[in-house]
Amino acid sequence: MEDRASPGGVCGRVLWLASVEIIFILFLTRGASSESHDGKALPVQGVDAGEKGAYLSHSCIHDEILHQRRRTGRKEYSVMPQVYHERIEKVERLRGRHLLGVSSWHAHQSNVMKPIRIYLNYDAVGHSPDRDCKTVGDIVKLGEPPAPSTPGIPICDPHGEPPLVGDCWYNCTFEDIAGEDKKQRLRKALGQTVEWFSKALAVEPVKGNLRLSGYSACGQDGGVQLPHAYIEDGVANADLVLLVTTRPTTGNTLAWAVACERDQWGRAIAGHVNVAPRHLTAEAETLLSATLIHEVMHVLGFDPHAFTHFRDERKRRRSQVTVQALDEKLGRMVTRVVLPRVVMHSRHHYGAFSQNFTGLELEDGGGRGTSGSHWEKRL
């Protein structure tokens, strides 16, 4: 999916879609018992329609990454159970015998919900010898290229169109090196992203330290090895850990992100976020802010492979998240998200109160990079 930052455009469409994505993610795992603050789209810090770089664009490759992660012998994610609020667990265990009115249950849930705590780990930035660009002319891996008889073959096309993670060798340029100025931009942008989510999304917090399994490297393109302390002691004051890298990408992919560990309910507890150094510029700052929100949404659950983890208010698996139906106007089958709150907010936004409006359509074009993990581009 290509997100284009036109004058007045980063906020208008991106922020409303982000708000609907937040509503969508509320249904993941404990999600429907999560909350979006006030149900409003929140502004992205630093986003000004008049800023420079208004015509930059981003191509999301999330589904292409998922396709690669499903190859034989690869692990999509690990599962590590967490401890949550004891009374909620007790209500779930005694659900058949425990009398709890709907209103009192929701009131109790509101008391439990807290702003999501996202912890950023930068240990891997610049520390992947075969994947980070350190000097001009370095040859590094993108994806998992075969060991060649001739070093550096096949070579990546730096300006290639999606798919952009095509198992090749990348020839580093000066723009691909993450110097101190770019690292500062990275920390600023991700810090704003974390703040945005803390205002937009409330979850049932992890009780005590967040514990990770470390069963395998977290993420894509070789992933990131989890620090030993995260496995032994866990991470304090965190509901989600994001491991950050600055590895090159081709084409106009500014960043990508995937979940790599989930809890017993399917909720993401660890993810890998990669930001391409050549896009850590003043010109791309506006688009990068919106892009990082978009990509972290994929970690949180806007991902067709995560739909099976979506649950209702009492943590029961959702029987139906999407439906396929014939769109008579288009003359073809489409996939729509039919979760009640998504339908409600979409009807309000579009003024579509007809019984024919049954759900919000997912993208079915754009190839493996975007199909199924984005709202339909026409919307």
Residue 76 a catalytic site member: no
Output the CA torsion sign for 46, 125, 179, 256. negative
Is the CA virtual torsion 274, 277, 278, 281 positive or negative? Answer: positive
Whether 312 has a pLDDT exceeding 70, the answer reads yes
pTM assigned to the model = 0.79
Kindly give, in sequence order, each residue whose CB lies less than 8 Å from that of residue 131, ignoring residues fewer than 6 positions away.
Answer: 140, 141, 142, 221, 222, 245, 247
Residue tagged active-site, from 35, 261, 295, 361: 295
Of all residues in the chain, the percent with pLDDT exceeding 70 is 69
Amino acid identity at 113:
M
Residue type, 363: E
pLDDT for 19 beyond 70: no
**Which of the four pLDDT bands, split at 50, 70 and 90, describes residue 36?**
low
Cβ burial of 101 (10 Å; 0-12, 13-18, 19+) is exposed
Helices (DSSP H) in the chain: which residue ranges?
9-25, 62-69, 86-93, 102-112, 180-200, 228-232, 285-300, 340-350
Whether residue 309 contacts residue 267, with contact meaning beta carbons closer than 8 Å, is answered with yes
Rounded Cα distance, 280 and 316, in Å: 42
Q: What is the mean pLDDT of residues 343-361?
A: 81
- The Cα–Cα gap between 41 and 178 comes to 32
Q: Which H/E stretch holds residue 243?
A: strand 240-245
Q: Is 279 annotated as a binding residue?
A: no
Consult the annotation and say whether 106 binds a ligand: no
Q: Is 349 labeled as ligand-binding?
A: no
pLDDT band at 162 (very low <50, low <70, confident <90, very high): low
Calculate ∠ Cα 97-317-107, nearest 5°: 55
Q: What is the pLDDT of residues 260-306, one digit of tens each?
A: 999 998 899 999 999 999 999 998 888 899 999 999 999 998 777 77
Q: What is the pLDDT of residues 231-242, one digit of tens each?
A: 999 999 999 999
Beta strands in 122-208 (DSSP E): 139-142, 168-171, 201-203
Structure-model confidence comparison of residues 29 and 142, the more confident one: 142
